[in-house]
Structure formats: C-alpha cells, structure tokens
Amino acid sequence: MEFTSADGEQKYAAFVRAARSAVVALDFDGTLSPIVDDPERAHIHPEAGDVLADLADVVAAVAVITGRPARQALDLGGLEEVGNAIGDTGKELYVFGQYGNERWSSSQHRIVSPRPPHGLATFLRDLPRALRQADAAEAWVEDKGLAHAVHTRRLPDPDAAYARLLPVLRDLADRNGLVLEPGRQVIEVRAPGMDKGKAVEKLAAEIGAGGFLFAGDDLGDVEAFEAVQRLAKDGLPTLLVCSASAEESALVPLSDVVVHGPEGVLELLRRLIADVRSS
C-alpha cells in the first residue's frame, strides 16, 4: 500500500472518520478478481466475500461497479451469497453491471436492465470485416448482451493486434452511434449515455453518502475516478485506490493509494475495517 500524494494519509484518515456514512465501490476484474486469459474463469479472490461482508459492517453500503454483465459478476463472485450475508446486517450490496446499465441489489434480488442499444446489430454485422481489416480475425468476441467486447489477449502478439484494432473499431462504433471503451487487451463497444462515473454519482446521491471510496484498475474506471474527484470538490471525504499492474498505469496519477492487485485491495480493506472499528 503506497500513498501517491502528500495528503494521501490525511485523506485516508478523513475517510476512516466518515466511513460509517460512506460508500465503498469496487471494480471486479483486476480489483476483486485476478486478470485471466478467459474472462469466464475470472473468479473473485477466495477471501473477498468475507472481507466484503466485514466491510459492510463499518460502512453505509458496498457496491461492485463493473463492465461485466451483472449476472456474470454475481455468479463468478458468489455475490448473491455475499449479499445475503450483508443483508443480515441491515446493509446493502449493490452490483452495477455493464458500466451501470444494469443494476442488482441484495434487497431486491433481480437485475434491472435496458434493451440492447440501437446500432449494435449493424455493428455486429460489420464486425467480422473489421477484424479482417485489422488482421485480427482470430480475436475472441464476447457477447455481453448490451455490448460486445473484442479480446486480443489470446492472440500471438496481443498488444500489436490491439493497436491495429483500436482505430478500426472506433470508426465502426462511431458510425453506429456506440461508445468504444478501451481496456487491458480488450476493446468494448456499448451504448452511449452511461458510464461508471454516472453510476458513482447516482449511488452517492441515492445513499446520501457521507464519503466515497472507489477502487479500480483500468481505463474503464477513469470516469468513476473523475466522479469521485467531483464529490471531493463538494466536500465529501473520498479515497481513490488503484489496483496497479504492469499492463495498465493510467489510474496511478489519479489515485490517492496504489496497491498491487486484488491481494493489495483486500489488504487495504482489512486495514480500513480495523481502523474504523478501533476509531
């Protein structure tokens, strides 16, 4: 755990004091779950469920905000069981899937989701040609329902394939009124109008949050970090946590604390729980 700014320790201490009325929100992949070649095998860290349940005892609410479909995050994370444990304390676990387009909570146990975006069908029709154009025909395309993600991690030179694909898919997304979301060897195309930052703002307003912590690892978390920075300007105690890796460092300069992967995230949360309980 490394504080990245001169006032990082002061911000951590202020968040501890505000924790009982605060929200803690976390990304899934790279934050609660290790990054793996096959996203369908990206199970949550085995100790994360217990830590999240303990965390709910000392904060107002816990949320997972992910680019994954909500059902997939619930299943891979065992989050319904975690939600039941949190519900026993009278608190709430929220899961926002597909960058906030989908919503699940431990009190309602159902996923609320919009229809697939206009333009997605045309994008999919033209996608094989775009992949061939970028010499990446073997890239794996993941159907998320409201979005599609093109993964280069399994290709012989994933970074080179990613660089070729990015402008081609950006053009195709633009032509169909869709949003392109770059990530760690994955390019996602989805509906406009929602991102993790909007999910953060909505949750903070709904809860009446007295503080906000967000932990993430990738470019898709930038909007969430920026939303938390706006909350800080409004006077809320906040803490931005980067789950760092060798693959992606864009969040480091935006962060108050840098940790190393899911293990580091859980170590930070355990420290937070202990500090709140002893304060």
Instruction: Tell me the pLDDT tens digit for each residue of 25-41.
Output: 999 999 999 877 666 77
Joined tokens for residue 208: 């009446």
CB 258 within 8 A of CB 252: yes
What is the CB neighbour count within 10 angstroms for residue 100? 23
What is the CB neighbour count within 10 angstroms for residue 279? 11
CA distance 196 to 147: 15
Task: Name the band, by pLDDT with cuts 50, 70 and 90, for residue 70.
Answer: very high
Q: What is the pLDDT of residue 14?
A: 97
Q: What is the pLDDT of residue 122?
A: 95
- Strands 238-244 and 211-216: what pairing? parallel
Q: What is the pLDDT of residue 163?
A: 96
In angstroms, the Cα distances linking 48 to 73, 116, 215, 269, 273 are 13, 31, 14, 10, 13
Q: Is the pLDDT of residue 43 over 90?
A: no
Q: Is the pLDDT of residue 249 over 90?
A: no
Joined tokens for residue 76: 């891979």
Q: What is the pLDDT of residue 21?
A: 97
